[in-house]
Amino acid sequence: MKKLTTLLSFSLLAFTGFSQNQIGGQKDAHGCLSGAGYQWSYLEKRCIRPFELKFQLINANKTFNAGILFNSSRSKAEVFSKEGFVILTKSKTDFYSGKLFGKSVTLSKKNGKWILSNSHNKILYTQP
């Protein structure tokens, strides 16, 4: 009987289009639909999807991207990566720095390509 009840429940859910765990229904503290890939942008003051940003960097294994967003004056850069997000501050031409989970990171342009590095100059992400 329990199997029949479960089967009927699933059939009813499929028929009505409702699900107990609808994808995209989870919201973060800012109201962004995190389950649909949205994150809060402190620079733009709105929900964005980092993987849709025009400016993307990729890690060495080519398995993860980091979306980069600059403010209108290009004095700050917001980085969205699998490690987290960070706002970097421009200190000189094509050089931004900040801290991600207490560790220094930099975004700089070298040989015409943008590179996100850690404090040990290890390249985390680079422009393809």
Q: What is the pLDDT of residues 20-45, one digit of tens each?
A: 445 547 898 999 998 999 999 999 99
Over residues 86-91, mean pLDDT:
97
Closest C-alpha to 21, from 5, 6, 10: 10
Q: Decide: pTM greater than 0.95.
A: no
Query: What is the DSSP secondary-structure string of 29-47?
Result: TTS-BGGGT-EEETTTTEE
Q: What mean pLDDT value characterizes the chain?
A: 84
pLDDT in tens, 99-120: 988 899 999 999 999 999 998 8
Those residues with Cβ within 8 angstroms of residue 53's Cβ, 6 or more apart along the chain or in another chain: 67, 68, 69, 80
User: How far apart (Å, rounded) are the C-alpha atoms in residues 75 and 71?
Assistant: 7
Which comes out higher in pLDDT, residue 125 or 10? 125
User: So what's the pLDDT on residue 23?
Assistant: 55
Residue 6 above 90 pLDDT? Answer: no
Q: Is 91 helix (H, G, I), strand (E, B) or coil?
A: strand
CA dihedral 99, 103, 94, 40 (to 10 degrees): -40
**Percent of the chain, pLDDT > 90?**
70
Name the band, by pLDDT with cuts 50, 70 and 90, for residue 3: very low
Task: Say yes or no to pLDDT of 80 above 70.
Answer: yes
